[in-house]
Amino acid sequence: MLKRWRVLNLYIADKKNNYKMGVIFIITSAFFFALMNLFIRLSGDVPTLQKCFFRNFFALVIAVGSLIKTHTPFKIGKGNTKYLIIRSVSGGVGMVGNFYAVDHMHISDASMLNKLSPFFAIIFSIFALKEIANKYEWLAVVSAFTGALFVVKPTFDSQVIPALAGVMGGLGAGLAYAYVRKLGVRGENSMIIVAFFSGFTTLMLLPYLIFNYTPMTAKQWGFLVLTGFAAAGGQIFITKAYQKAAAKEISVYDFSIVIFTAIFGFLFLDQIPDYLSIIGYIIIIGTAIIKWYFTVHYKKEKTE
């Protein structure tokens, strides 16, 4: 009996640690993805699909280099190939939508549209993982989504196409992250997931680059290289995050990207948030704090 009790305590402690690490990883990924969006914008008038190609090509180099450095064989787990393909296709669609939105909107607005992905991730997790969120978790996501609307202030006039592209980006990313979580549950190596996605999308976009390449300046090359590094960091940390914890437990923290993009937009693009955006930030941050408190303390009470 004592042995079983110790095993149970170790399991609970490990689960709590996984949750905390998941939160840290997802906030870190938001920081890197905010940097990525900034570099996308700073790279100028390079075609969106060309930006997508080099973003993934440089991320692929980093991922493969990491696998070689750690002597990790590129071996896909049994039965995981189909899930990797779903993750890559949906992630690729989401990436193109996000890049197009970033190119045609304020980066904070585009980032918030893309960060509808946690909302979609919870929906898709129902089908991919049979993970059902309770009413409090749904309320947290709806609250964060409401805050996002204050930030975006959608008018859907001349911005309808970029806005719809941004929503498509969020939907694609949400489906991708649900399958990242599924692959994590199935024990797939996080760097294998990143490398597969980067390689798959690089090959997917290669025909476009061959027939429609647009020459770039040294400055544009530099920002696209930085985009690749930031994207690799974002991918690695968000993959680790969804491997550590369920989407319904940590996805709300992904909204922290709005804080990072607002800061970067102010510092580097002279974009100043208005009072509605600030209200949205307060709602999102407040939701994240309440969600964290409920998840940590309420679950602690239930296990004691």
Region 185-209: mean pLDDT is: 89
- Residue 295 confidence (pLDDT): 65
- Contact residues for 210 (Cβ-Cβ < 8 A; gap 6+): none
How many CB atoms within 10 Å of residue 75?
8
pTM across the whole model: 0.77
Mean pLDDT of the chain: 81
How many CB atoms within 10 Å of residue 271?
17
pLDDT at 28 over 90: yes
pLDDT in tens, 204-230: 999 999 999 999 999 999 998 898 889
| Highest mean pLDDT: which range of 8-17, 176-185, 213-222, 286-295 | 213-222
- Contact residues for 184 (Cβ-Cβ < 8 A; gap 6+): 190, 239, 242, 243, 244
Region 181-195: mean pLDDT is: 84
Q: Tell me the pLDDT band of 2, cut-offs 50, 70 and 90.
A: very low
pLDDT at 120 over 80: no
Q: Please indicate whether residue 5 or residue 112 has the higher confidence score (pLDDT).
A: 112
Q: Please indicate whether residue 101 or residue 131 has the higher confidence score (pLDDT).
A: 101
> Do residues 285 and 141 lie in contact, with contact meaning Cβ atoms separated by under 8 Å?
no
Region 134-163: mean pLDDT is: 74
- Residue 35 confidence (pLDDT): 94
